[in-house]
Amino acid sequence: AGRGLVEQRHGVVGVVRTAMILGMWARMPPLLSSTSSAILSAWRLSALLLCPPVLSPSVQSLLRSVKMDATESFRKWKRGQKLGEGTFGEVYVATHEKTGEVAALKKIKLECEDEGVPGTTLREVSLLKELQHPNVVGLCDVQQDNHKLYLIFEFLDKDLKRHIDSVSGHLSIEQVRSFSFQLVKGLSFCHSRGVMHRDLKPQNLLVTNQGRLKIADFGLARAFCPPIRPLTHEVVTLWYRPPEILLGSATYAPPVDMWAIGPIIVEMITKRPMFPADCEIDMLYKIFRILGTPTESNWPGVTNLKDWNPAFPMWPKISLRSIAPQLDEQGLDLIQQTLNYDPKTRISAKASMEHSFFSTVDKSAHNTL
Ligand code: AMP
């Protein structure tokens, strides 16, 4: 899938890169004398005048927004303490120089830093600015400096993994229910806009001390093609990855995100990962041992997937109750529906908002969260 996306990107990269060269020139004046700056402005103006016949309207509007970012927000965020390191780069606290507003600044690790930020990446990132929902971490700003890309996100207290670890005892069932509802609500919104996450896990669900949950890193997998390894030695986690991807399916569709919901709910309940595997085959076997080895009858087409092996051991399904005994029938049913092997029969984010597990959730209160 990654390769397909890269190829798709390369198709338009030429046009957008031309646009970006102009965009980058727009960023250079602080390094130049006033005379060179005047020459540059004249050059830039003539270049922009010459460009419209070549550039599509969307690229022109991208150029305008990039230019606005450069002039209006360039270097207005002051970087503070490091918060952590994720799949795409280091995360710092940042403070707005004028307003004192606190945000999370993500310094994106680009694969080819010497070549600058690919135009397609910037285009995808600027589209993410439009993805505004109470359960999605807002992207406030995008900055480019010295071929580096910085994303400025709204700040939240901690990630869900840290929250689960910090609670002594267990999370209350009401908190699990509320977090799960907010999670599927944010997911439903993004899916309805054609944006998938592809790497949902407790580390990129952020929570506030008031019980709000927001999904972080939406759309970044598509914009940046996640590396196999993040910055440190830590391997990208497989624990929330669905069986169709593990078995070599090349298509990323919304059910990929829905698979992760079940293991995340189980982890909130039990405080332990549901499938703590250390490699892909271990991950598949951990799934098969609980849900039973899939067959053509519960997953038509599974035996044709690229990495299907007829020699896989045949395990029977075990009861989900033994995995999360604290959860009621409705909760177990929702988990089962997110873990349906066949992606076509897996529950959607929209449908899961109406699931009986959430019948006691005050949905109007969640609208204002
Ligand atoms: P990520 O790259 O999103 O996995 O981020 C790495 C870590 O930085 C997360 O596990 C969080 O602890 C922290 N972090 C990321 N984004 C934010 C944010 N918007 N607000 C507060 N902390 C964040």
The 10s digit of each residue's pLDDT in 312-322 is: 999 999 999 99
Pocket of ligand 1 (CB under 6 A): 83-88, 91, 104, 137, 153, 155-156, 159, 203-204, 206, 216-217
- For residue 351, the CA-to-ligand 1 centroid distance in Å is 29
Active-site residue set: 199
Residues in Cβ contact with 152 at an 8 Å cutoff, skipping those fewer than 6 apart: 77, 94, 103, 104, 105, 106, 139, 140, 141, 142, 143
Of all protein residues, the one whose alpha carbon is nearest to atom 23 of ligand 1 is 104
Q: Please name the residue that has the structure tokens 């914009």.
A: 223
Residue 345 has pLDDT above 80, yes or no: yes
Residue 170 CA, ligand 1 centroid: distance in Å: 23
Instruction: Name the residue at shortest CA distance from atom 19 of ligand 1.
Output: 155
pLDDT of residue 114: 63
Find the DSSP H helices in 26-172.
Answer: 34-50, 57-73, 119-128, 160-166
**CA distances to 48, 139, 160, 239, 280 from 235, in Å:** 44, 26, 19, 11, 12
pLDDT tens column, 46-56: 333 333 333 34
pLDDT tens, residue by residue, 216-261? 988 777 766 555 444 444 456 899 999 999 999 877 899 999 999 9
Over residues 179-199, mean pLDDT: 94
Ligand 1 atom, smallest distance to 153 CA: 19
Supply the pTM of this predicted model: 0.78
